Amino acid sequence: MTSFIVVAAIIAAIALGYKTRINIGLFAIAFAYLIGCFVMGLSPSEVIGMWPLKMFFIIFAVCLFYSFAIVNGTLEKLSEHLLYRCRNVPHLLPYAIFFTSALIAAMGAGYYTVLAFMAPITLMLCEKTRMSLIIGAMSVNYGALGGANFVSSQSGIIFRSLMVNSGIAEEVAFINSFGIFASTMLIPLAVITVLVFFTGHRKSMQGASLGVSLPTAFNQQQKTTLWLTLLMMALVLMAPIAHLIFPDSATATFINSKMDIGLIASVFSVIALLLKLGDERKAMASVPWSTLIMICGVGMLISIAIKAGTIDMLASWIGTNIPTSLVPLAFGVVAALMSLFSSTLGVVTPALFPIVPSIAGNLGLDPMIIFICIVAGAQATSISPFSSGGSLMLGACPNEEARSGLFSQLLFRAAPIGIVAALIFSIVLTFFF
């Protein structure tokens, strides 16, 4: 009975958050308290202890450091330079938008931040060059998603933390996260290539002018920020990769055991402040607090679900009612449907990732394949106007007429294209790897 109450609470939190526009995490915290203390008999301290403190610290520390590149204009200047390089090949503009968004997101801007300043630029370029709104919207959305999935960026860190909290070893979680990143870069490239070269897009843009002027050079503050960001990314990646290559090396093992991306980011934040790379108050304000509350609040409610046995019950049902070969695909479909109306980071992955280890173990599947299918499915529909990506794209429209036209294109063309691409990829991944 408790499990059904928990499931109802998760659905209610999502529905209430969507309806009232109040952070889903706040509803999740309230439900976690009411169910944990008054239904399951837990103490308030036990419920508070379910707040995912380590995940909160890592996301906060990393976002704080990366916010300096946002505050001092480094990432915006980088996007201007990258788009300028594509001025003579207008039909390749979707690739330029995709890789620009991906690079900036991978360097720490995060999905929402990249869309916030790349979406208006993309829509403006669509108007100037006759580029399809669908191709432009999917390019910037896919790029922001794929880049943010990089193992040292915001989404990649969240995925790793969720896997570790679900019982996956740190090293395996790192490999799984890299698999998610690689997959969410391959799918968009395939989709964009089909849209550019097989739909008449190239012909319609021939001779178009991007009208992108030569951007000004990076100032000293921005150059320092860029190099500091690259250095931190290198440090975060080198230790686990060295340990994977040299598993018997005592030195590599020792160094890797002392590496923590949250603590490293904290040190680099202090360095950034000492070098005066940005205002501390503005950097703090740039931290995505609402995303943090949503992820951690839902994490508390999921912990209640685990304590109540809901996760094990759901895993058992899936394991006995769905053919083994179709389990990854089923997860992808469920994730895609959930993501139509909710956040991949705040709702879909916190809800589905904890189920994966037990199902994979019982059915003899590679957990990485299921993790990839979940993220690919969830991110396929993030372009929906009811989800985060689509709503940000609509918000960037210059007027109501443009917004109305883009709404139907995102819902009836972009989202279905994304779903079909993700499902095809999931089928190929399941049956051939």
Kindly tell me if the per-residue pLDDT of 62 is higher than 80. Answer: yes
Range with the poorest average pLDDT among 38-47, 179-188, 385-394: 385-394
pLDDT of residue 4: 87
pLDDT of residue 205: 67
pLDDT of residue 93: 84
Domain enclosing residue 272, as ranges? 52-286
Kindly tell me if the per-residue pLDDT of 238 is higher than 60. Answer: yes
Q: 329: closest CA among 377, 381, 384, 368?
A: 377
Kindly tell me if the per-residue pLDDT of 141 is higher than 80. Answer: yes
* Contact status, residue 122 vs residue 402, Cβ threshold 8 Å: no
pLDDT of residue 48: 95
What percentage of the chain exceeds 70 in pLDDT?
Answer: 95
Per-residue pLDDT averaged across 391-402, rounded?
73
Kindly tell me if the per-residue pLDDT of 31 is higher than 90. Answer: yes
Query: How far is the CA of 359 from the CAs of 84, 229, 331, in angstroms?
Result: 48, 38, 11
Tokens of 326: 């179709």
pLDDT of residue 331: 92
Say if 274 falls within a structural domain.
yes
pLDDT of residue 377: 92
pLDDT confidence tier of residue 129, bands split at 50, 70 and 90: confident
What does the mean pLDDT of the chain come to? 86
Kindly tell me if the per-residue pLDDT of 206 is higher than 70. Answer: no
pLDDT confidence tier of residue 397, bands split at 50, 70 and 90: confident
Per-residue pLDDT averaged across 219-235, rounded?
91
Single-letter code of the amino acid located at 44? P
For 214, what's the count of Cα atoms within 13 Å in the CB-facing half-sphere?
1
Tokens of 220: 């000293």
Three-state SS for 59-92 is HHHHHHHHHHHHHCCHHHHHHHHHHHCCCCCHHH
For 112, what's the count of Cα atoms within 13 Å in the CB-facing half-sphere?
18
pLDDT of residue 134: 86
Kindly tell me if the per-residue pLDDT of 190 is higher than 90. Answer: yes
Phi and psi dihedrals of 327, rounded to 5? -60, -50
Range with the poorest average pLDDT among 49-53, 373-377, 398-402, 421-425: 398-402
Phi and psi dihedrals of 394, rounded to 5? -65, -35
User: Residue 207's CB: how many other CB atoms inside 10 A?
Assistant: 9
pLDDT confidence tier of residue 110, bands split at 50, 70 and 90: confident
Per-residue pLDDT averaged across 44-66, rounded?
90
Say if 319 falls within a structural domain.
no
Per-residue pLDDT averaged across 267-276, rounded?
95
Per-residue pLDDT averaged across 31-59, rounded?
92
Say if 401 falls within a structural domain.
no
pLDDT of residue 209: 57
Distance of CA 178 to the CA centre of its chain: 13
Kindly tell me if the per-residue pLDDT of 368 is higher than 90. Answer: yes
Kindly tell me if the per-residue pLDDT of 398 is higher than 70. Answer: no
What percentage of the chain exceeds 90 in pLDDT?
Answer: 35
Q: How far apart are CA 149 and CA 143, in angstroms?
A: 10
Rounded to two decimals, the pTM is 0.84
pLDDT of residue 212: 63
Find the Cα–Cα–Cα–Cα dihedral 7, 372, 191, 342, rounded to 10°.
20
Q: How far apart are CA 111 and CA 146, in angstroms?
A: 9
Report the chain's terminal Cα–Cα distance, integer Å.
39
Q: How far apart are CA 228 and CA 65, in angstroms?
A: 10
Query: How far is the CA of 368 from the CAs of 106, 159, 383, in angstroms?
Result: 21, 11, 24
71-81: pLDDT as tens digits = 898 888 887 78
pLDDT confidence tier of residue 272, bands split at 50, 70 and 90: very high
Question: Higher confidence at residue 143 or residue 204?
Answer: 143
User: Residue 258's CB: how many other CB atoms inside 10 A?
Assistant: 10
pLDDT of residue 39: 92
pLDDT of residue 356: 93
Kindly tell me if the per-residue pLDDT of 207 is higher than 70. Answer: no
Say if 242 falls within a structural domain.
yes
Say if 386 falls within a structural domain.
no
Question: Higher confidence at residue 420 or residue 86?
Answer: 420
Say if 331 falls within a structural domain.
no
pLDDT of residue 192: 92
pLDDT of residue 222: 93
Say if 216 falls within a structural domain.
yes
Kindly tell me if the per-residue pLDDT of 65 is higher than 70. Answer: yes
Q: How far apart are CA 202 and CA 420, in angstroms?
A: 23
Say if 425 falls within a structural domain.
no
Kindly tell me if the per-residue pLDDT of 186 is higher than 90. Answer: yes
Quote the number of domains for the chain.
1
